[in-house]
Amino acid sequence: MANWMRRHLPTTRRVVYVTMGVVLIAEGATALLRGSVSYPNYWGGKVFPPLAIVLGLASVGFAVADPFRRRSGRDPRRGAKRPRRNARQ
């Protein structure tokens, strides 16, 4: 994978997830404010607005909180953590 791709892909992915979440939240809120129980999606299927809002909030939450980041104390985009020096030396 190219070096620029390693640096920019996580940021781009987060922006896409936040945008997708905001669109879902806006569509669901608009349908609820109109008083309708469902609205049609792109393919003609019905969408339940509260579910769209919950999925939008989950998308934004996962993009912002990043719960899948490694817990090793390092940012996965930055490379390996430096080894600790022994205090006795």
Task: Compute the mean pLDDT over every residue in the chain, rounded to the nearest whole number.
Answer: 78
Strand pairing of 39-40 and 46-47?
Answer: antiparallel
Greatest CA separation found in the chain? Answer: 71
Distance CA 9, CA 11 (A): 5
Q: Helix 3-34 crosses helix 49-65 at what angle (to 10 degrees)?
A: 150
What's the pLDDT tens digit per position in 30-47? 999 999 888 888 898 888
> Of 60, 63, 87, 82, nearest to 72 (Cα)?
82
73 close to 55: Cβ distance less than 8 angstroms: no
pTM of the predicted model over 0.75? no
Structure confidence at residue 83 (pLDDT): 60
- Which pLDDT score, from 0 to 100, does residue 47 have? 87
